[in-house]
Each structure stands twice: as structure tokens, then as C-alpha cells.
Structure 1
Amino acid sequence: MALYIAIDIVFIAVTLVAAKDSLHPLSDEFISLINSKQSSWKAGRNFPLDTPLTHIKALMGVVKNPLSPKLPAITHDADLITSLPENFDPREKWQNCPSLNEIRDQGSCGSCWAFGATEVMTDRVCTYSNGKKQFHYSAQDLVSCCTDCGDGCEGGQPPTAFLYWKNDGIVSGGQYNSSQGCRPYEIPPCEHHVDGPRPKCNGFDKTPECLNKCTAGNVEYKKDKHRAKEVYSIHGEDIIKAELYTKGPVEADFIVFEDFLNYKSGVYSHTSGGAVGGHAIKILGWGVENGKKYWLCANSWNNDWGDKGFFKFQRGDNHCEMERDIVAGEPDLDGL
């Protein structure tokens, strides 16, 4: 009889754990579970509870293709690496680069791969010129016109996006409804926060048509195309840090788990919930908070999500495969 009772207790315990793990990823109960299991980061409500999970999954637009080209890897001087500070925020080093503070909004489109890329490209025009030149690369032009990158709003590959920058060039373009540059973003933003002013996130937008002409600004499409001198990959925590410190932000992608959707502050590490998909973001810098190492990152779900659009992510152990596929490049500043 005691054996049967023990088995029943184990079965009940396993059932309760399974029930907790199957909580709705946007529910108050799931948020409470996250906060009860760790203290390095704070979970809270970002997406409204009735946001369709199909919409959230569609935001994860990184598509892995084993046949995609591999970018050459670079390295950095050992003496530089040993001299790097414990904390680094590029917004303090390059104070005259406003794009480092920008949080974009991909809307209802799986274009994170293009946003992370064009954010890095935009930043690097400024960092490479020490603030003397500014060029806001168009995420719309990349999403719509790079057919080798993937399927636009249905996902793409960051390395191929950088190759497109080098080989074909990308025009300028601001955020939705901005009239900035040649091709501003055409997909409207939607609300990733319960109290924000934007329309509700529903459905999934189709990839806008590739137009080899400007839809805004007084520029000519072909003349507005600007390219990279070289593009490459970066591997290893120390090499990534040296790259950030000397040249500027990089693009990374990682596996998003359900708890990440509820990030508000602190150093994120996966705690609860299943995988949602692959997501691309921009890494700006690094630091240590309460003894925990982190990467400083910018998301593309508008500035109502997370910590004003930014987040800190566990650093140094390829957490959620964040450090596996890092890409960047050197802009060609001629003509800018």
C-alpha cells in the first residue's frame, strides 16, 4: 500500500509540474512562475493577454539554411582583449550617433533578420566616421528586395543580408510613416505593450513589393544605394567584445523561449516555457549586473516592450545560442 501511495504522490507532482509548464505564456500565472524561479531578471506584462500566439511566433523571422554562405571570421589583438573594460555602452563612447538609441518596430512581419542588419549598418556608418556621417539604412528595401535572403516577412538569414549589403547595396529609409529617406518602412507598428497607443497586433502582413524606386525623399534609387567594403562573422565572447568596442554593434540571433516575451528588466536567462522560434537582434555592448555577465541588446518590437525596447542577456556561455552566429561589416563611406 505504501508503494502505491508513493507512486501516486510522484504522479501528482509530475502532473503539477507539467501543468505549470503548460501555462499560457502571456498569463499572469506564467509571469508569476518566472519570477518565483529566479531573481536575475524581472518578468511582467508586455503583450496583451489576447495577443494571438501565431502573431508572436511570426515575429521570429530567422530561418536557418545549411546551404547559406559562411562569412569569413575575423579576430582581434590579444592585447586589446586583455585591456577591455568590465562594462561597455557604445552610447557613451559615440555620443553623437543617435541611431544607437533608436528602437525600431518590425510590425506584423517576420523581418527581425533585416532589422537587426540595417540597425547595425546604420550605426556603423556613424561609428566608423566618428559621428561625421549618418545614413539610415532601409529595412524595407532589404526585406522586399533581397530574394536570396529568404522570404521577406516569412523570415530570412542575417549572413545573407550582409552579403546583399556588400554586393547590391541598400537605400536609405526611416520608420513607418516617417517620409525619411528613399524607402521608409511600409508595415505599420502594432502594440507590444498593454498600455501603449499603437493598434492591436493581429494577423500577419505580406512582404511588400520590391520597388526599384524611391517612395519618399528627393533622391534617386540607384544613387542612394550604399554598400559595405567587407562583411564577416565574429566568434567567441572576447572577440565579440573587442569588435563592439572598436567598431560598433553587431547582429546576433538566438532561440526565443516563451519566458522572454515577458522580459522587463535585469539579466535574462531562460527559466520557463518552450521554444518559440529564432529571432535576430542587435548587440550594442556588455556589462556585469549583480555578478551576472550580460550582453546589452536592442529589440525591434518598439520601445514599449521590455526595458524601453532594450534588454540584457546572459553572456559568455552561448546561452540560447546567442553567440553562435554573429555578423557585421565595414561600411563604404565614399559618397555618403
Structure 2
Amino acid sequence: MLFILSLQSKALEQQYELLLNIPGLTWKPSLNFVKSHPFLQRSQNPSQRKYVQNMFIDSLESFNSPLTAPESFDWTAMEPSCMKIITDTGNCPSYNSAAEVQALSDLRCIQARDPEYVQYSVQQLVDCEYGCYAGLTGDAWKFMLNSGVPTESCVPFESKLTGKKNICSTQCKNGSSLNVVKPTKLKKVEGVESQMMKAVVQGPLSVEFDHYEDLAFYSSGIYTHTYGEWIDRMGAEIVGYGEENGIKFWKVKIPLGEQFGENGFMKIAKGTGECKIESNGILGVV
């Protein structure tokens, strides 16, 4: 086992050195996260989907706003108390479920639907529906719209440690009643840069993007895929956008914990279709 770990560590160090020597890299790589987090495990979904046309998203009402979006925007600056919790999926790469439940938590805080920040339960979706290796963009929103979701304190995210699905909870872990909240509506946001900007100003935007091996080395800067194999589609929240050193970016909240990237956030190149992040997204209404 130690020999295997040693080989893995050496391979990571070689990949890191390769990234360091790529000229013109717009982001800074690091070994800190990739050596301490079970992030590089591949999806167990046999379809190995790079992009799936999602019939549920297609069926939603389209988001449309006549307003002009500002040149830059950042929910972490506008509502820092609503952006402070970063879900860590750990051994359970339920990225879409985690990102969309997190988006509901953040949106309810932004809209003052809860008296203080409340984190809602990823575990409930893992157990009742999607497990650790399933779910498309919008699946978690659809579940929450139909069935609702309890709080994290009611049904804690235990699968992030075990990687296993449990039995769907009908009461809180402490035996109390399972009270749930639901979004009131969902809107489809077309994968057009200007529309996405307008949507983000309304609230965190749920999206997916292509997840490659080099993402695990991301530390800071504006990410563009540079090296490594495709692994899966990853769910995330776009919480802002801007420009840095002449390069436009989306500010993205990633369900990998605060140890990833810039304290749980990253910047991804904007307006270029990078990693297909500018595909259809979902804006929740609470």
C-alpha cells in the first residue's frame, strides 16, 4: 500500500512539474489540495457523459431580463455572510447535488428567507435519489421542487466520509420531525454570456462544466484546461464575474471545501466556452 501511495505521489509531482513549465499559464498550480483530497477518483457512471441534453432543463420557463448587467459582479462582496459555507463532497463526488443544494442555501440567505444562514442537506438527495455518482444539472433542483429538502443539521452529510448511500431519511437523525423547504420556481438560463451575467445578478447560477485532471492542481488565477484527461461533468455555482489582467472570468463556487482553490472558489475563463461552462444553467427562485 505504501508503495502504491509512493507511485501516486510521484505521478502527481510529475504532473505538477509539467504544469509549472507550460508557458503563459493564466493560473497557478499547487500540490496541496490534490495530495490531501480524494478528488481524482473517476465517475462510476458507465455513460461517461461529456455533455447530456437535459430534457428537464429544456422544459423549464426561460429566464429573461430586460436589464443590462454590470461589467462585474460578485456575491461574495455583496453578501459575504451568504457565501461563507463551502460544501465538501469528500469521498462522495455528488457534485451536482451538492452545488444545487448549496445554491438553495445561498439564495435563501440572499433573499432573507431564513433569519440567518441555513445549510441544507446534501445527504437527503444522496440517500433518496441520486447516490454519490449520479445526477444531471437540475436533478437536485427537481427533487427539491417536488419533495423539499431538510437542513444539514437534521440529516448530516455522512457520505462525504464513507462514499456510501444510506437509507432515505423520514425523520431527523435525532428523531425529530423532518421539516423541509422548497424553491418556488426554477428558470432555465440559456448558455449565452449576456444572459448568464443577468441571471447571476439575480442569484447564484447552477451550472456544469467539464472536469479534467489538471483542475485538482488549481490554486489561483483564471483557469483554462491545460493538461490531463477528461474525468466527468462537475456541478458548481457561478456567483460572480469580472476581468483580471485583460481576461474575463466567471467566479465559481466549487463543492470541494475551503481547501480548494481560492478558499473554495475559483475563476474560469468567461466568454470562450471554457470547459462547456457556458451551457444551459438553472436559476432558482425562493
Range class of TM-score, shorter chain: 0.7 to 0.9
Residues 9 and 35 in structure 2, CA contact (< 8 A), matched pair in contact too: no
Residues 149 and 180 in structure 2, CA contact (< 8 A), matched pair in contact too: yes
2:177 pairs with 1:220: yes
Q: Which whole-Å CA distance do the structure 2 matches of 1:265 and 1:90 have between them? A: 18
Is the alpha carbon distance of 1:65 and 1:25 closer, same or farther for their aligned partners in structure 2, counting shifts above 3 Å?
A: farther
Is the alpha carbon distance of 1:250 and 1:117 closer, same or farther for their aligned partners in structure 2, counting shifts above 3 Å?
A: same
Q: Which whole-Å CA distance do the structure 1 matches of 2:38 and 2:237 have between them? A: 25
Q: CA RMSD in A?
A: 2.8
Residues 248 and 271 in structure 2, CA contact (< 8 A), matched pair in contact too: yes
Identity, in percent, stands at 23
1:299 alignment counterpart:
254
Letter in 1 for 2:102: E
2:3 alignment counterpart:
none
Which residues in structure 2 correspond to 1:91-110 (within 5 Å)?
Answer: 91-95=76-80, 98-110=81-93
Which of 223, 236, 252 is the equivalent residue of 2:207? 252
Which of 238, 241, 264 is the equivalent residue of 1:283? 238
Q: Which whole-Å CA distance do the structure 2 matches of 1:52 and 1:170 have between them? A: 26
Residues 59 and 279 in structure 1, CA contact (< 8 A), matched pair in contact too: no
CA deviation vs aligned residue, 1:53-109 (integer Å, no higher than 9, x gap) = 8x522499996665742342433334x22xx332211122224xx241221111211
Q: Which whole-Å CA distance do the structure 2 matches of 1:140 and 1:323 have between them? A: 28
CA deviation vs aligned residue, 1:108-135 (integer Å, no higher than 9, x gap) = 1121111100110011111223875543
2:149 alignment counterpart:
170
2:134 alignment counterpart:
155
Letter in 1 for 2:149: I
Q: Which whole-Å CA distance do the structure 1 matches of 2:45 and 2:280 have between them? A: 16
2:226 pairs with 1:271: yes
2:76 pairs with 1:76: no
Q: Which whole-Å CA distance do the structure 1 matches of 2:120 and 2:45 have between them? A: 21
Q: Which whole-Å CA distance do the structure 2 matches of 1:205 and 1:161 have between them? A: 18
Aligned length: 273
Which residues in structure 2 correspond to 1:171-250 (within 5 Å)?
Answer: 171-173=150-152, 180=153, 182-189=154-161, 205-216=163-174, 219-221=176-178, 224-235=179-190, 236-245=192-201, 247-250=202-205
1:195 alignment counterpart:
none
Is the alpha carbon distance of 1:110 and 1:25 closer, same or farther for their aligned partners in structure 2, counting shifts above 3 Å?
A: farther
Letter in 2 for 1:240: M
1:39 alignment counterpart:
25
Unaligned runs of 5+ in 1: 1-22, 174-179, 190-203, 332-336
> SS at 2:42's partner residue?
helix
Q: Which whole-Å CA distance do the structure 1 matches of 2:239 and 2:53 have between them? A: 27
> SS at 2:186's partner residue?
strand
1:48 alignment counterpart:
35
> SS at 1:102's partner residue?
coil
Residues 59 and 111 in structure 1, CA contact (< 8 A), matched pair in contact too: no
> SS at 1:27's partner residue?
helix
Letter in 1 for 2:104: M
Residues 183 and 285 in structure 2, CA contact (< 8 A), matched pair in contact too: yes
Q: CA deviation at 1:52?
A: 7.4
Q: Which whole-Å CA distance do the structure 2 matches of 1:65 and 1:314 have between them? A: 22
Letter in 2 for 1:268: Y
Computing the radius of gyration from Cα coordinates, the structure with the larger value is 1
Letter in 2 for 1:40: T
Residues 54 and 136 in structure 2, CA contact (< 8 A), matched pair in contact too: no
